[in-house]
Amino acid sequence: MSASLAFVFPGQGSQSLGMLAELGAEQPSIIETFKEASTALGYDLWKLIQEGSEEQLAQTDKTQPAILTASVALWRLWEQQGGAKPAFVAGHSLGEYSALVVAGCLSLADAVRLVRRRGELMQEAVPAGQGGMAAILGLDDGKVIELCAQAAEAQVVSAVNFNSPGQVVIAGDKAAVDRAIELCKAAGAKRALPLAVSVPSHCALMKPAAERFAEAINSIDWKAPVIPVVQNVSAGIAADLDTLKQNLLAQLYQPVRWVECVQTLAAQGAVNLVECGPGKVLAGLNKRCADGVTTYNLNTPDAFAATRAALA
């Protein structure tokens, strides 16, 4: 195990059609992992991400299993090639489930079915078009929180993803999010832009989804993590499995404290972070969250080889 190493797993927004195509062509284990997930889901997940439509892949109940499986496939390849074991794992939003599979808490089959259910419940909680999310750049966290409170007007809008200093995502009822966007622009935000998402994640509108999701969480055989998991809602490590599961449910309607998660890792000496999943969204965020942190990627054959060489 490398004390300075942590693996971090991306969430929704990192998906793209054709992701992992090059690695899949070279590495049979990538395809094997997707076959395992496809058996659990009852459809060909690899075919969906290689040959499906952007629209299909953007459906929350498809996006979540796709990103999770891609992340676990990359982890398994890392292990297979003798990569060092991390001292910690963490994941951004959905990515927390990838982290839990890698930490040995639940099987890939259970995880993909779980996140599919999570996606369905999120979609059902707020009908399409009624919720919204927006990225706010260039304002202090406190200011964004204050302006959301001002914009709410008996509806829901709140700061939900603290992604990096000066980058906060807000979510809630669409009209309230639109009001908050205008207030943030007036307050001097560099940018305040709506996000193309089908559900307003991590806000109070998701509380009913969490209540229904508890049944799915409790129906699974959980094991204690073999690698400590830094969780989104606490930015810390749960003392026991019950707390870990409660944090997962709370994550549906409470903010993702990503800045603090990265700071927790850095404070523990884990300053070499490997983004284990499609894309490189977290690499861009992490460097602004804590001093001295370097993020490596595994999403292409070249990136994978460079990370192996750098961390050998």
Closest CA to 174 of 191, 189, 153: 153
Contact 12, 200 (CB under 8 A): no
Burial 24-41 (b: 16+ CB within 10 A, else e): beebebbeebbebbbebb
Amino acid identity for residue 53 in this structure: S
Q: How far is CA 57 from the centre of its chain?
A: 16
The residues assigned a catalytic role are 93, 202
Phi-psi region of 161 (alpha: psi -120 to 50; beta: other; left: phi over 0): beta
**Bridge partners for 273 per DSSP:** 6, 295
Q: For residues 200 and 150, what is the distance between their CA atoms, to the nearest angstrom?
A: 19
Question: Side-chain half-sphere of 164: how many Cα atoms within 13 Å?
Answer: 14
Find the DSSP H helices in 199-240: 207-218
Residue at token pair 């992604």: 163
Residues 165 and 169: their CA atoms lie apart, in Å, by 11
For residue 18, count other CB atoms closer than 10 A to its CB: 11
Taking residue 61's Cβ as centre, other Cβ atoms within 10 Å add up to 18
CB 182 within 8 A of CB 306: no
Give the count of beta carbons closer than 10 Å to the beta carbon of residue 1: 8
Cβ density class 215-251: b for 16+ within 10 Å, e for less: ebbeeeebeebebbbbbbbbbbbbeeeeebbbbbbbb
In whole angstroms, how large is the CA radius of gyration of the chain?
Answer: 19
